[in-house]
Amino acid sequence: MAGHNKWSSIKHKKAATDAKRGKLYTRITKEIILAAKLGGGDPDTNPRLRTAMLAARGANMPRDNIERAIKRGTGDLEGVSYEEITYEGYGHNGVGIVVETMTDNKNRTVSEIRHMFSKFGGNLAETGAVSWNFDLKGYFQVPREGKDEEEFFMEALEAGADDVVTEEEYFEIYTAPGEFHTVLSSFEAAGYQVEEATLTRVPKNTINADDVAEKLLKLIDMLEDLDDVQKVYANFELSDEVMERLAAE
* Burial 199-223, CB ≥16 within 10 A → b, else e: ebbbbeebbebeebbebbbbbbebb
Give domain limits for the chain: 1-14+82-249, 15-74
- The pLDDT value given to residue 80: 79
- 204 confidence band (pLDDT: 50, 70, 90): very high
- Topology (CATH level 3) of domain 1-14+82-249: Alpha-Beta Plaits (3.30.70)
Residue 89's nearest CA partner among 62, 69, 119 is 119
Q: Which CATH class is domain 15-74?
A: mainly alpha
- 12 confidence band (pLDDT: 50, 70, 90): very low
- The pLDDT value given to residue 15: 36
Ranking 16-20, 219-223, 233-237 by mean pLDDT, the lowest is: 16-20
- What does the pLDDT average to over 110-137? 96
Helical residues (DSSP H) of the chain, grouped into ranges:
3-13, 18-39, 47-58, 63-74, 106-119, 149-159, 180-189, 213-224, 240-248
What average pLDDT does the structure give for the chain?
88
Residue 88 has pLDDT above 90, yes or no: yes
- The pLDDT value given to residue 47: 86
**Which of 8-12, 106-110, 196-200 has maximum average pLDDT?**
106-110
- What does the pLDDT average to over 238-242? 89
Give burial (CB, 10 Å; 0-12/13-18/19+) of 196: middle
The answer to whether 36 and 49 have CB atoms below 8 angstroms apart is yes
